Protein backbone atom coordinates (compact mmCIF):
# COMPACT_ATOMS: atom_id res chain seq x y z
CA UNK A 1 0.00 0.00 0.00
CA UNK A 2 2.91 2.35 0.73
CA UNK A 3 4.14 2.15 -2.89
CA UNK A 4 0.63 2.86 -4.13
CA UNK A 5 0.48 5.97 -1.90
CA UNK A 6 3.83 7.17 -3.28
CA UNK A 7 2.63 6.66 -6.86
CA UNK A 8 -0.63 8.51 -6.12
CA UNK A 9 1.26 11.40 -4.50
CA UNK A 10 3.57 11.58 -7.53
CA UNK A 11 0.62 11.67 -9.96
CA UNK A 12 -1.16 14.29 -7.87
CA UNK A 13 2.05 16.36 -7.77
CA UNK A 14 2.19 16.26 -11.58
CA UNK A 15 -1.44 17.41 -11.75
CA UNK A 16 -0.58 20.19 -9.31
CA UNK A 17 2.24 21.33 -11.59
CA UNK A 18 -0.26 21.50 -14.44
CA UNK A 19 -2.48 23.86 -12.43
CA UNK A 20 -5.11 21.39 -11.29
CA UNK A 21 -6.21 21.87 -7.67
CA UNK A 22 -4.44 18.88 -6.24
CA UNK A 23 -5.14 19.59 -2.58
CA UNK A 24 -8.62 18.19 -2.87
CA UNK A 25 -7.40 15.20 -4.82
CA UNK A 26 -4.71 14.35 -2.28
CA UNK A 27 -7.10 14.67 0.66
CA UNK A 28 -9.71 12.54 -1.11
CA UNK A 29 -7.08 9.89 -1.89
CA UNK A 30 -5.86 9.78 1.69
CA UNK A 31 -9.34 9.55 3.23
CA UNK A 32 -11.14 7.37 0.68
CA UNK A 33 -8.38 4.99 -0.39
CA UNK A 34 -5.59 5.11 2.17
CA UNK A 35 -7.93 5.14 5.19
CA UNK A 36 -6.40 8.25 6.76
CA UNK A 37 -8.54 10.32 9.14
CA UNK A 38 -9.84 13.62 7.79
CA UNK A 39 -7.72 15.84 10.04
CA UNK A 40 -4.55 13.83 9.39
CA UNK A 41 -5.23 13.97 5.64
CA UNK A 42 -5.63 17.74 5.78
CA UNK A 43 -2.38 18.05 7.73
CA UNK A 44 -0.54 15.86 5.21
CA UNK A 45 -2.06 17.94 2.42
CA UNK A 46 -0.59 21.09 3.98
CA UNK A 47 2.81 19.39 4.16
CA UNK A 48 2.42 18.33 0.51
CA UNK A 49 1.61 21.93 -0.40
CA UNK A 50 4.75 23.26 1.29
CA UNK A 51 6.90 21.27 -1.12
CA UNK A 52 4.85 21.92 -4.27
CA UNK A 53 4.29 25.59 -3.45
CA UNK A 54 7.90 26.09 -2.36
CA UNK A 55 9.31 24.63 -5.54
CA UNK A 56 6.91 26.69 -7.66
CA UNK A 57 7.89 29.84 -5.81
CA UNK A 58 11.59 29.11 -6.32
CA UNK A 59 11.02 28.83 -10.07
CA UNK A 60 9.03 32.07 -10.17
CA UNK A 61 11.62 33.94 -8.09
CA UNK A 62 14.24 32.76 -10.59
CA UNK A 63 12.11 34.09 -13.44
CA UNK A 64 11.44 37.31 -11.48
CA UNK A 65 7.66 36.83 -11.71
CA UNK A 66 6.85 37.41 -8.05
CA UNK A 67 4.37 40.08 -7.01
CA UNK A 68 5.49 40.77 -3.46
CA UNK A 69 2.51 42.96 -2.54
CA UNK A 70 0.12 40.14 -3.47
CA UNK A 71 2.23 37.66 -1.49
CA UNK A 72 2.05 39.89 1.60
CA UNK A 73 -1.73 40.25 1.34
CA UNK A 74 -2.26 36.53 0.75
CA UNK A 75 0.14 35.52 3.53
CA UNK A 76 -1.58 37.68 6.14
CA UNK A 77 -5.01 36.51 4.96
CA UNK A 78 -3.85 32.89 4.98
CA UNK A 79 -2.51 33.10 8.53
CA UNK A 80 -5.72 34.67 9.83
CA UNK A 81 -7.85 32.14 7.94
CA UNK A 82 -5.74 29.23 9.17
CA UNK A 83 -6.03 30.29 12.80
CA UNK A 84 -9.78 30.85 12.51
CA UNK A 85 -10.32 27.59 10.63
CA UNK A 86 -8.26 25.63 13.13
CA UNK A 87 -10.30 27.05 16.00
CA UNK A 88 -13.62 26.23 14.31
CA UNK A 89 -12.43 22.73 13.29
CA UNK A 90 -11.57 22.02 16.91
CA UNK A 91 -15.17 22.76 17.89
CA UNK A 92 -16.84 20.60 15.21
CA UNK A 93 -17.22 16.82 15.10
CA UNK A 94 -15.18 14.99 12.44
CA UNK A 95 -18.33 14.03 10.50
CA UNK A 96 -19.32 17.67 10.14
CA UNK A 97 -15.83 18.62 8.94
CA UNK A 98 -15.93 15.82 6.35
CA UNK A 99 -19.38 16.92 5.13
CA UNK A 100 -18.38 20.59 4.89
CA UNK A 101 -15.17 19.69 3.05
CA UNK A 102 -17.03 17.46 0.58
CA UNK A 103 -19.72 20.07 -0.04
CA UNK A 104 -17.09 22.77 -0.59
CA UNK A 105 -15.30 20.59 -3.15
CA UNK A 106 -18.55 19.82 -4.96
CA UNK A 107 -19.65 23.45 -5.08
CA UNK A 108 -16.27 24.76 -6.26
CA UNK A 109 -15.99 21.97 -8.83
CA UNK A 110 -19.45 22.66 -10.24
CA UNK A 111 -18.79 26.41 -10.25
CA UNK A 112 -15.51 25.87 -12.11
CA UNK A 113 -17.16 23.54 -14.60
CA UNK A 114 -19.91 25.96 -15.50
CA UNK A 115 -18.08 29.29 -15.21
CA UNK A 116 -17.76 31.08 -18.51
CA UNK A 117 -14.60 32.92 -17.52
CA UNK A 118 -11.69 32.97 -19.89
CA UNK A 119 -8.33 31.88 -18.55
CA UNK A 120 -5.90 34.71 -17.88
CA UNK A 121 -2.84 34.94 -20.07
CA UNK A 122 0.05 33.65 -17.88
CA UNK A 123 2.33 36.39 -19.30
CA UNK A 124 -0.04 39.14 -18.18
CA UNK A 125 0.66 40.71 -14.80
CA UNK A 126 -2.15 40.74 -12.21
CA UNK A 127 -3.98 43.97 -11.52
CA UNK A 128 -2.99 44.37 -7.87
CA UNK A 129 -2.26 47.93 -6.85
Query: 71-82, pLDDT tens digit by residue?
Result: 899 999 999 999
- Tell me, yes or no, whether 86 and 42 share the same domain: no
- Tell me, yes or no, whether 83 and 46 share the same domain: no
Is 125 part of any domain? no
Residues in the chain with pLDDT values less than 70 = 17, 19-23, 116-129
The pLDDT assigned to 79 comes to 94
Domain count, the chain: 2
- Tell me, yes or no, whether 65 and 96 share the same domain: yes
Is 123 part of any domain? no
The pLDDT assigned to 87 comes to 92
Rounded CA-CA distance 45/41 in Å is 6
Contacts of 41 (CB under 8 A, 6+ apart): 26, 27, 30, 31
The pLDDT assigned to 123 comes to 63
- Tell me, yes or no, whether 21 and 64 share the same domain: no
Residue 4 domain boundaries: 1-50
The pLDDT assigned to 103 comes to 92
Is 61 part of any domain? yes
The pLDDT assigned to 117 comes to 64
The pLDDT assigned to 81 comes to 94
The pLDDT assigned to 121 comes to 64
- Tell me, yes or no, whether 67 and 92 share the same domain: yes
Is 119 part of any domain? no
- Tell me, yes or no, whether 16 and 40 share the same domain: yes
Amino acid sequence: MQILNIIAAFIIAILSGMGIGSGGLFTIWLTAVAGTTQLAAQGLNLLFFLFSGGSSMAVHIGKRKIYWKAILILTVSGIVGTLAGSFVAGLLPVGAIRTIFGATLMISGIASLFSGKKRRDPNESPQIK
